[in-house]
Structure 1
């Protein structure tokens, strides 16, 4: 990788680690969107998957057994066909289509979160049926495969179940730990992992671990509104640019 790549990769991976460690791991996919601005989408996803897996392992310990196991089990089961659908799409899609999908998912993520904050979208706390968890898992598996962005479907399901802040965080960490494991073999078979992505991973390991460490502590100290305001601004800019590049 050229030196200029790391000017984007270091802050992106640090941000992803902070998100994984303390603010709902779904926002960590912003790192993939940022990297897709400077390298092709496959390279961006190939660099980030091992980093996200490392963050998952680092974040599991502080939230150990604090997750909602019933909900996690249903979401993980649903993610299996979602990952398979993502792999099938990858085989036939070109780089611009993947870039477009990453950009659109980023913009949708921001729009959904803002609509929820303003009360335009209300999530009722009810005991959701199992099939709804499977559907949320399928959507999460698919969007996670093509953009590492499975957060919104999982968030909708967990919030509807009335998960507390810590239980929500712990469950998302567990779910995406499993989903990311499911993606390893198809990523390898599709050639998404390369010598270049491996070399970048070796450089970025300490950055990823530092991000998780900061996130676990910031979970109790930093207002979520500040963190997510920065997240939404980054995703809006990167999402719009990726869509523009894909269409032009």
Structure 2
């Protein structure tokens, strides 16, 4: 079995997979986009995303079992078609996006996602508004498409989808279930274009296989820690980590795109 041999990769990959699993298992996700930025500190973003996809699919199996009865079917009908279009756009444009450009995109998204999380408490809470059905369908398709695209590039589809869903003030279980089922569908669909692009080669799949048990351990650990760890403290630490990683990747991306050697 072919594996990545760089020890530094595993120093960041092991905690990254565990953290994402813990987030999915006990803290309603939200940190799924942390793994690729962390891994991208030691391997290319493309390889990091390729290794992480099968691992996310393993985590999704657990999520499906937990949330299969708690999701909004009408919202899914609005989101999934756009997500499939976004995935297709990601597939068609993937080879034209350089590693440095991807690092820049990933870094900026990580920073903006973190800043949005930190400042949401400062923004006034507005009551949910009734949106005309046609407008809501178009909005769902647009944000679903953007989520599918960013998810394809770097498994970073959470920010666009949350921009659409959070104003709807869904019940917590319905929100978590809808997001979980949405990304389970998107991730399993992504396996096809990833395979066509040759991203699921022996080295990447072998590394995914070695790390996959950590996905299960992370999810189970999240379930166990749910009532034992302060979720605010956990997320404060994780989002700080994500912010610093985003700054590093954005700088590397800017240096590579605008200041090549």
Displacement of 1:222: 3.7
Alignment equivalent of 1:23, drawn from 24, 27, 39: 27
SS in 2 for 1:25: coil
- How many residues in Structure 1 have an aligned counterpart in Structure 2? 247
What do the CA deviations read for 1:186-239 (whole angstroms, capped 9, x no partner)? 111222222111111111111000111122344455443222212211111111
**Equivalent-residue separation in structure 1 for 2:51 and 2:126 (angstroms):** 34
What do the CA deviations read for 1:53-77 (whole angstroms, capped 9, x no partner)? 1101112112221122221232222
**Equivalent-residue separation in structure 1 for 2:104 and 2:130 (angstroms):** 35
SS in 1 for 2:43: coil
- Greater shift, 130-139 or 45-54, is seen at 130-139
Determine whether 1:196 maps to 2:203.
yes
Alignment equivalent of 1:125, drawn from 119, 128, 136: 128
2:159 counterpart residue number: 152
Alignment equivalent of 1:55, drawn from 53, 59, 62: 59
1:88 counterpart residue number: 92
Displacement of 1:127: 4.0
1:211 counterpart residue number: 218
Decide whether the 8 Å contact of 1:32 with 1:44 is kept in 2: yes
Contiguous gaps of at least 5 residues in structure 1:
none
**Equivalent-residue separation in structure 2 for 1:220 and 1:63 (angstroms):** 19
Displacement of 1:123: 5.7
Alignment equivalent of 1:104, drawn from 101, 105, 108: 108
Alignment equivalent of 1:141, drawn from 120, 142, 148: 148
- Using structure 2 for the length normalisation, give the TM-score: 0.88
Determine whether 1:234 maps to 2:241.
yes
**Equivalent-residue separation in structure 1 for 2:72 and 2:18 (angstroms):** 27
Larger Rg: 2
Q: Superposition RMSD on alpha carbons, in Å?
A: 1.7
Decide whether the 8 Å contact of 1:123 with 1:156 is kept in 2: no
Displacement of 1:151: 0.8
**Equivalent-residue separation in structure 1 for 2:168 and 2:120 (angstroms):** 16
Contiguous gaps of at least 5 residues in structure 2:
256-261
What do the CA deviations read for 1:165-202 (whole angstroms, capped 9, x no partner)? 22211111100001112211111122222211111111
